[in-house]
Amino acid sequence: MAQAKIIGICGGTGSGKTTIVRKISEVVSDFVFVPQDNYYKTAEYISNSNITAFNWDHPDAFDNALLTEQLEKLRNGQAVDMPTYDFVHHRRREETIHVEPRKLVIFEGIMIFTNKAVRDRIDLKIFVDTPDDIRFIRRLQRDIKERGRTVDSVIEQYLTVVRPGHYEFIEPTKQYADIIIPEGGNNENALNVLVTFINSVIASGE
Which structural domains are found in the chain, ordered by start? Answer: 5-198 (3.40.50.300)
Alpha helices of the chain — where are they, by DSSP H?
A: 17-27, 64-75, 116-119, 132-146, 151-157, 163-165, 188-203
Confidence of residue 147 (pLDDT cuts 50, 70, 90): confident
Q: How far is 112 from 119, CA to CA, in rounded Å?
A: 6
**Tens-place pLDDT, residues 162-173:** 899 999 999 999
pLDDT on residue 185: 66
Residue type, 105: V
**Tens-place pLDDT, residues 110-137:** 999 999 999 999 999 999 998 888 889 9
Query: Strand, helix or coil at 7?
Result: strand
